[in-house]
Chain A
């Protein structure tokens, strides 16, 4: 992460933190993601990157990677043995631009 790009004003940070703290919002996100995104003052390119699962673009805009990791788990899964591994793999693939060097799931 190049911290020189870090932008704490991005609305995606609030989205992730609210999802973490609010189980009902999480449920709505799973059922109707667009309706949840609508509630936040996301920049057009920010929203587009979320919808495209383009973490490289989000990080280049200044998203904090720790919250990026959490966003990936809202999308792909949060359980230790399966969903979180898939989320990590998809996230790394998006950031690297390829899926090489991703270890096999244990």
Chain B
């Protein structure tokens, strides 16, 4: 039986890196504090592999043949893809993959009737993996990573209950399918409110963001599923905010745990709300909603 040893979720807006130096001091402090807390927890938990759920942003597949979940099964992942480098403003990075875990995940999801896709070849990564990687120096940890790129933006995309079911299956796969004693870290990457490419590109829904973070920290999954629907996310920022659905598989996999957030920034030039959550796995009340 493998075990989950840490779980967190963080935003990945490109401007968090590219405009970091121009951001107000309080915003920089919140960003630094948040990523550092998650980074420290990952280091302390010593996972053997980190499974990352993140929005694909139409970076790997045609819009006419778009997978809902694409498991990156390559032996190594590199980023950012060249066109995204100046946009994010971040350095190159590379992390080891974990092909056997990627295949086990694909096999396990399929057997549990959850449709996913799997790629052996290296995938393109934009801000989805690049921003968390450089902000937390994941590439300096010698930590194998299995990205699961999620459709959070091409309708009809998997909604909250679907993503939650993915997380429940993930918990089973970790418990029953992965090698015994394997230590697994989970990371959701995306959000908070934003509307990339939309008329509300500069609008951030702070009220929504704070409510979402509060619910994540409370670990009340019943309310989360009831109140934080894909439709509600679309209102908070169409085509962008729903990437918070990448947090759902993580939460469903760990069950109802309390979490900690490290502050919130709604600095408009980030074009995205910022706040992270680190869950305390010792506080689990029940397996899943």
Contact = CB atoms under 8 A, between A and B. Distances in A.
Interface of A: 1, 3, 6, 8-9, 13-14, 17, 20-21, 23, 26, 64-70, 72-73, 78-81, 83-84, 88, 91-92, 95-96, 101-103, 105-106
Chain A, interface SS category: helix
Chain B, interface SS category: loop
Given A6-B155, A17-B58, A67 B86 contact: no
Interface residues of B, number: 37
Given A17-B58, A65-B238, A1 B198 contact: yes
Interface in B233-289: 234, 238-240, 268-269, 271
Contact of A67 (B15, B17, B63): B63
Nearest to A72: B197
A64 B86 contact: no
Interface in B172-195: 195
A63 to B, nearest CB: 9
A13 B202 contact: no
B95 to A, nearest CB: 22
Contacts of A70: 197
A79 B89 CA distance: 7
| Nearest 3 CB-CB pairings of A with B | A80-B18, A69-B197, A65-B197
A103 B154 CA distance: 28
